Amino acid sequence: MTIDLTDTTTGAIHDALRQARLRLGGVASGMVLTLVIVTNEGEQYDAVRAASAAGRQHPCRILVVIIRRPEQRSRLDAEIRVGETSPGETVLLRMYGPLGQHADSVVAPLLLPDTPVVIWWPDTVPPIPSQDPIGALAQRRITDAAAAGSPRDALARLASGYQPGDTDLSWTRATPWRSLLAATMDQPSGDVTGGTVSAEAGNPTADLIAAWISHAYGVGVVAEPSAGPGVTEVCFTTSDGEIVITRPDGRVAHLRRPGQPERRVALHRRETTELLEEELRRLDPDEIYAEALAQFQTAHHSQ
Amino acid sequence: MSAVNPLRDPRDRRIPRVAGPCVLVLFGVTGDLSRKKLMPAVYDLANRGLLPPGFSLVGFARRDWENEDFAQVTHDAVKEHARTPFNDTVWQQLAEGIRFVPGEFADDAAFDRLAQTVAKLDTERGTGGNYAFYLSVPPKFFPDVVAQLKRSGLSSSPVGQDGHRPWRRVVIEKPFGHDLASARQLNEIVNSVFGSDSVFRIDHYLGKETVQNILALRFANTLYEPIWNRGYVDHVQITMAEDIGIGGRAGYYDGIGAARDVIQNHLMQLLALTAMEEPVSFDAASLRAEKEKILSAVRLPENLATGTARGQYAAGWQGGVEVPGFLEEDGIAPDSHTETYAAIKVGVDTRRWAGVPFYLRTGKRLPRRMTEIALIFQRAPHLPFNATDTKELGHNALVIRVQPDEGVTVRFGSKVPGSAMEVRDVNMDFAYGESFTENSPEAYERLLLDVLIGDPPLFPQNQEVELSWEVLDPVEHFWAEHGKPDQYVAGSTGPASADALMARDGRAWRRL
């Protein structure tokens, strides 16, 4: 059911949520986390859809913060959805006027007790996520550098403001690649002396993969532009020759290594829902991301 | 494995462990298990990106099939039974590595063809000479298959050019013998060709996930361990109930029975996990050491007539359907003494458990399907209430639900709202499925991945299997010589003799 509350308060939202739960027979008993999405009216539909799908198997409370019309008088409108698209609860919070500057005062009372808080900015990258008023309420702060105008600059900013608990979807997108690369290097191979990562221009995932390899091996790794889609090739230069993984079509990867037949494996680009699912799986600080980000920053500055 | 891979960092928990290049050889591809569980599990692993590039699947069976026919069978099985959505790209990659070798287990030429097929896969697809053999065939064929693997040279691996020895692993399914002697014989056959670390025994009732859940509950918390002993626990009930009958498994089931089918492996493993001491670490060897200690401390009651019970389901109504009795099932002799229900009381002779009985029961055609471990606690030594206030208060209990709805229930007393003081039992419930943003993998997926990665098996090795038979053999001997199973109506909770077993101790079974 959907409940619309205009010019309301968090107390009234609480009451409405409890009433709805009682009427539906206590659906939302086992909610595992609160997901706060900070977005705008234009983007909220896609973001809420992806989050609801990610929360389908396991209920969570989704709070959507939408800031509108700063020039008007302060007003809070709430749209509560319970028992529809996802098993949890979704509350769209529209904040008008000066209230928009104090969104944390609305979000804080609505967080579920005793469970983690995750915040996601699907379409903006805050300067320092952990110092954002709402970001400060969360254990896990998810940004997406790919959504910024200049992804590289956004990554550099995230690197200088990094705090444990920060994470970025461009790093999440790297997981299938990193998994394949790690599996490839499980096999005996020569000493790695360098490498390249090719991707369509301005792809922050490629930058992070390059930084990750560079940090792990202590060698220089170059990011090179290609036609895409996404990341198209990773090449290791080793003392035994080149180990190359190419993925020209965004679907199937081809692995070539010296003296062995070419092997193929499916390597898909993933939907936002899958990325979110991966992010929600573990909520502890991602130290590997921190190291890759720091490595990227070092390389970025020296350019 | 060779030198450390810098891209693998134990702190990096996004990257899953992926199997290295290898071939999975499946014997018994025409069976139900292969189609419903194994083939879908292989696909699900591929779809999750957990199989290596070039992974190949070879089927072996007495069928006049080409590679394409086997690929089609696999395709249909995957489409019907896989848990992850069907993706054509993933399937195409998998299908390229599918081969089929027709033949019988006695046929030397067929196994030579098999050896050629896998060798060719090594050169064509770079599978690196690593082979896993899955024997999804009845145990009577094990000697043949194992001998053939040895004769054709498939079971031995020469050191490769890079100084690296490829691996060989073998997976076998329960039953692991039908008594101590046959279990030993089976172990000898398999171990004559494969080292004990290369043998993976799967008990499909007991996924690794369940084992690890129980270990986490017991040893990751401070809450339970202090009361996990004879000072607090009155008794333990371990139950595996099935609502189905023997179905089409008459050939297998007749002469085996509930105790050999379920108690020997499944319930004894659950008992070991419940009763064992804390292992010094969670590696396979430490865990096995603790489980073996407990299994060697399990004692049967002196009088097996009063300490055990068995039954056969009779015709009746089960879940709204009229069903035949066991003796009327196709393929069962009308005078069969095979039991479909078995209950045993055992003790565990350790300081922690002295005097605490463990009641194990299993049966078919019971009211519902469920597996659980229930620790029933002693009553409080003193209750500062009127006797009438606590009339409805039972024993506190901690129940580990293994299936369905894997989770934990705690049962304790609570005040009933109102002006009178009245205490009644309530439940506090936790379900794994509700509290994590992750789906637990299917048992076969995890097992296959463990086999291909070479993770030392959490599943029982020779010693554990033999210890469980040592416990069960005297019961089977006693049953063989004394009387026959009692009848119980299908859909009821078991024979009256099982209830009497509990009643003699002043206890009762938990409701099914």
pLDDT digits (tens, 9 = 90+) for A160-176: 999 999 999 999 999 99
Residue B161: predicted pLDDT: 67
Could you tell me if B398 and B408 are in contact, meaning their C-beta atoms sit under 8 angstroms apart? yes
Does residue A298 sit in helix, strand or coil? helix
Local confidence band at B127 (pLDDT 50, 70, 90 cut-offs): confident
Residue B326: predicted pLDDT: 94
Complex-level ipTM:
0.85
Q: Where are the alpha helices (DSSP H) in B103-228?
A: 108-125, 142-151, 180-191, 208-219
Percent of chain B beyond pLDDT 70?
A: 96
Report pLDDT digits (tens) over A123-172: 999 999 999 999 999 999 999 999 998 999 999 999 999 999 999 999 99
Report pLDDT digits (tens) over A187-197: 888 899 999 99
Residue type, B360: L
pLDDT at B2 over 50: no
Residue type, B431: A
Could you tell me if B47 and B87 are in contact, meaning their C-beta atoms sit under 8 angstroms apart? yes
Residue B457: predicted pLDDT: 60
Per mean pLDDT, which range of B179-183, B333-337, B371-375, B417-421 is the poorest? B417-421
Question: Cα separation of B43 and B104, whole Å?
Answer: 26
| Marked catalytic residue, from B178, B235, B266, B395 | B266
| Residues whose CB is less than 8 angstroms from the CB of residue A261 and which lie 6 or more positions away in sequence, other chains included | B54, B123, B124, B125, B126
CB-based burial label for B294 (10 Å; 0-12, 13-18, 19+): buried
pLDDT at A71 over 80: yes
- Residue range B135-155: mean pLDDT, rounded: 89
Helices (H) and strands (E) in chain B, counts: 17, 18
| CB < 8 Å to B14, chain A | 172, 175, 178-179, 278, 282, 286, 288
| Å between B122 CA and nearest CA of chain A | 9
Cβ of B436 within 8 Å of Cβ of A260? The answer is no
| CB < 8 Å to A192, chain B | 6
Tell me whether residue B266 is one of the annotated catalytic residues: yes
| CB < 8 Å to B123, chain A | 261
Cβ of A267 within 8 Å of Cβ of B49? The answer is yes
Nearest CA in chain B to A289: B12
Q: Render B416-442 in DSSP notation, one character per residue.
A: PSSSS--EEEEEEEEEHHHH-SSPPPP
pLDDT at B210 over 90: no
pLDDT at B17 over 50: yes
Select from A178, A263, A288 the Cβ nearest to the Cβ of B125. A263
Residue A289: predicted pLDDT: 96
Question: Cα separation of B54 and B128, whole Å?
Answer: 10
Could you tell me if B380 and B423 are in contact, meaning their C-beta atoms sit under 8 angstroms apart? no
Report cis status (omega within 30 of 0) of the bond before B404: yes
| Residues whose CB is less than 8 angstroms from the CB of residue A148 and which lie 6 or more positions away in sequence, other chains included | A124, A125, A154
Beta strand B316-318 pairing with B407-415? unpaired
What is the CA B390 to chain-centroid distance, rounded? 40
